Structure formats: C-alpha cells, structure tokens
Amino acid sequence: MSSTRSQENRRQALAGWFFVSPALLGLIIFLVVPIVLALYVSFTNWDGLSNPLGGDVKWVGLHNYQQLLTHDGLTRTTFAGALRNNFWFVLFVVPAQTALALWLAVLVNNKFLKGRSFFRTAFYFPSITSSIAITLVFLFLFQGGGAVNGILNWFGIHGPNWLADSRGVIHVWLSGVGITKPPGWTQHTVMGQSLWDWFSGPSIAMMVIIFLVVWTTSGTFMLMFLAALQNVNEDLYEAGELDGAGSWQRFRYITLPSLRPTLLLVLTLGMIGTWQVFDQIYLTGNNPATRTPAYMSFDQSFQNNHFGVGSAIAFLLFALIMVLTLLQRRILPEEID
C-alpha cells in the first residue's frame, strides 16, 4: 500500500515538473543566465564587440568596482553625481506619490461622490499612457520658450530654462535668503563630490522629472489604496462616530492602521521603481543634472563600450536597493507588535 502511494506521489511530482518545465526553462534562459553572465562581465574589461567568454576578454577583478567607489577620477565623480541625483529623486517622489495616491483613493472611495467611475478612470489614465509620450509632452511644455514659461510671463515671472538648469533647489533657496558661499565644512568631499554638492537638493531639471513621475505613478498606487479601503470594516467607522471621533481622528486611528500593509507595499514598490528610473532620464539626454545610476549603466555600456563598468553599476544599484528595502521593512514592519 505504501509502495503504491509512493509511486503515485512520484508520478504526480514528475507530472508537476513536466508542466512547469517550459516556464522554468524560460526563466533560466532569459533571466538566470543573463544575470550570471552580467555578474561575470562586471569583473572583466569586455567592450561588447567580441565574445565575452573568449580569450580577448581580460579578467580585471574588482577594478571596475574600485573605479566607481574608491579610485579618484571622472568615473567615480560621475557615479557620485548620479547617486546624488537619484537620492534626491527618491526622497521627493516616494512621499509625494504615496501621499497623493492615498488622498485620491480616499476621495474616490467617498460614497457620496458623484461620478466616482469617471474620476477613477481620469486619475488612473496617466499611469497607462506611454511614459515616452508623456515625457515628450513635458519636454515641450518645460522648454525655455514653452507653455509653462509662457503662463508665468503672464504674471510677470521670468521662468528658468527648466531642463537645462542644474542648480539645486536647496541652493536656490539658500541664495534667496542671502547664503551664496558654502561654509568651510561643506568643502569636504565624499566620492569626489563636496558636501555642498551632496546637499544641493534636486536640480531644477530634476524637479520637472519629479513632477512628471509623481503625476504618472500615483494612479496605480491609488488603485492599491482603493482596494484596501474597500476592505476596511464599516463597523469600525460607525463605532468611531458613536465615540465622537471626527473625520481626521477616524482617518488617523482607523483608516491608516488598516492600510498599513498596503502602505508598506506602496512605499517598497515606489522606492524600488524610483531607484530604477530610466526612460524619462534617457529622453532628457546625457544631462548631468538628471543623470541616474540606471542611465549611467546604459551610457557606460552602450555608448562608451565599457560593459564591465556598466554591469558593475547595475549590481551596485541592485545591492543598494536590497539594503534600503530590507532597512525599510525593518523600520516599518507590516504589523505592529
């Protein structure tokens, strides 16, 4: 009896592996193998013009990583600038898109709102529109002689050349209050960039990308919050009203705790996505004010034929995202003990 059952279990296991083998084979060929090969390339000087496993490719060990992290030079300075740009991008986009998405979800979830289906569609529409098309529209709007500056001129405001302005918004604000020279302590350098540059804030050009990304991503996260809101027990709100809780108190003590798992999901997805931003940056050109590690990886690989350095950037970015994600989940656990 036990032998028959064992044979049946083996047949079922073989049948299961047979059915999943096409998908598994596809994952191995198109995901695992390229990742392993890219990791190998990050330790070589491969130029993309020959066989990466051939004899012409030289093993350089950690040299590509040292160029990015420890060796003084243009590559490290450029990489540091890309990290700085992306850091401020994440710091501005993730809270803004999360707050906007939550506000839109609460607004659309209001049962007294007329035309809720229309507003759901309208708020979600930018998320399903081609990011390339929307970015091109924004590039035209924010040109020096574009529509945005044209509107500002009506009010007597001379707008900047948005996408060519590399000034950090914190530096602009400091100059507005009379601080134009950096303090002495800010002249210390980290990875070839002075502290004054690290704390410059996002550039004016990057602020355009920030506004664009917040507008186009909030709709997707709105749907996540909306699905979670519709699962909140209405009895909790009724009990809160009976206890005299106002709308803000009900939102703070009932809605937000109920949305904690979804909030963590949105923050995690937002952070991962913003560290990987590429297509909007690509369309702005090789602009130091908006360059990010993802774009630099592409530029080093496909423009400069330094595939080893480009692969090293990709794996450093992967490690950074993993560390920040784990740190975020530790700081914001899914459930409160």
For residue 327, pLDDT beyond 70: yes
**Which of 263, 260, 230, 266 has its CA nearest to residue 110?**
230
Mean pLDDT of 34-50: 92
pTM of the complete model: 0.91
pLDDT given at position 268: 93
Least confident of 103-107, 294-298, 327-331: 327-331
> How far apart are alpha carbons 10 and 258 in whole angstroms?
44
Convert the pLDDT of each residue in 79-129 to its tens digit.
Answer: 999 999 999 999 999 999 999 999 999 999 887 778 778 888 888 888 888
In this predicted structure, the answer to whether residue 258 has a pLDDT above a threshold of 90 is no
pLDDT on residue 176 = 86
Phi-psi region of 305 (alpha: psi -120 to 50; beta: other; left: phi over 0): left
Task: Indicate whether 202 pLDDT > 80.
Answer: yes
Residue 126 confidence (pLDDT): 87
More confident residue, 5 or 153: 153
What is the pLDDT at residue 335?
Answer: 63
CB-based burial label for 172 (10 Å; 0-12, 13-18, 19+)? middle
Average pLDDT (312-337) is: 86
State yes or no: pLDDT of 1 exceeds 90.
no
In tens, the pLDDT along 228-249 reads 998 888 877 778 777 777 788 8
Give 74's contacts (C-beta < 8 A, 6+ positions apart): none
Residue ranges of the domains in the chain?
2-61, 65-331
Under the banding of pLDDT at 50, 70 and 90, the label for residue 3 is low
In this structure, what token pair is assigned to residue 274? 């913003």
Q: Look at the block and give the residue holding tokens 């079922």.
A: 12
pLDDT band at 185 (very low <50, low <70, confident <90, very high): confident
Q: Return the CATH architecture of domain 65-331.
A: Orthogonal Bundle (1.10)
